[in-house]
Structure 1
């Protein structure tokens, strides 16, 4: 399979039914996407594939062949954070942090699709990303801050 991840082309000889999450974590050693549930219900494994937020635990390597994938590692850099990453820090969203890469990737997709989301928009799009620490109010505040920052950019 051939795959571009965070702007870097990769080629791997793997079974086509291997989940994209395992390709990223085990084959390419990209650790941002996390295994949470394995059934696309928690969002910890969220990445962007061809510009769409997807649960990498449910995308097969065969379906990802030729795709452009962005993980949390490719969203921004330490010197140039994505607006969502900066807002997450500003609002101190993370507690345990396990779900945060998936939360951030889903939030970045939300803002790409809906630059000025309402609370209802946020709840609808982010509802599939679970946070066991319950930081939902901070997540919502961070998304609104990121939206404001992106308007000013």
Structure 2
């Protein structure tokens, strides 16, 4: 039995310990905000927070989250999440929207660690988050705007 916390609720999983966290989140917990993109941790669509750090859930075996806290796009909260959400809306960041939950999870984690990120900080934190619609400039600006909002 694998026990973990998902978005603040205690959960147990009694299936194959090699099942990717992504499929536990989507298929067993019915939270579909976390997306399947590539299955090899290269696109970022499946990004969640695991014990406060970003993690690609498509390659994370559920057995490795025993006793851990997992936060998905449905459970993200706090000042950084609110600032990112407002900036995303203000700049109309999403086009198709498929990658956006992973983008937002990475952006929130960045702002939690680096409240006033440089372009280099943003590049590093967002590396591996692919946007097929190429909204990278809006994503960068939204992160900067969110940081500015939190600052003052």
For residues 68 and 15 of structure 2, the distance between their equivalents in structure 1, rounded to whole angstroms, comes to 15
Counterpart position of 2:114: 114
Alignment of 1:92 onto 2:70 = no
Counterpart position of 2:33: 32
TM-score, normalised to structure 2, is 0.94
For residues 50 and 150 of structure 1, the distance between their equivalents in structure 2, rounded to whole angstroms, comes to 23
After superposition, what is the alpha-carbon deviation per residue over 1:59-91, rounded to whole angstroms, capped at 9, x for unaligned?
Answer: 1100011110111111139xxx62111111111
Counterpart position of 1:11: 12
Alignment of 1:101 onto 2:104 = no
For residues 5 and 32 of structure 1, the distance between their equivalents in structure 2, rounded to whole angstroms, comes to 13
Kindly report structure 1 stretches of 4+ aligned residues shifted beyond 4 Å. Answer: none
For residues 108 and 23 of structure 1, the distance between their equivalents in structure 2, rounded to whole angstroms, comes to 23
In structure 1, stretches of 5+ residues that fail to align are none
Q: Structure 1 residue 11: deviation in Å?
A: 1.3
Aligned residues: 149
Counterpart position of 2:48: 47
For residues 91 and 76 of structure 1, the distance between their equivalents in structure 2, rounded to whole angstroms, comes to 20
For residues 14 and 64 of structure 2, the distance between their equivalents in structure 1, rounded to whole angstroms, comes to 14
Q: Structure 1 residue 148: deviation in Å?
A: 1.1
For residues 82 and 60 of structure 1, the distance between their equivalents in structure 2, rounded to whole angstroms, comes to 30
TM-score, normalised to structure 1, is 0.94
Pairwise CA RMSD: 1.2
Counterpart position of 2:125: 125
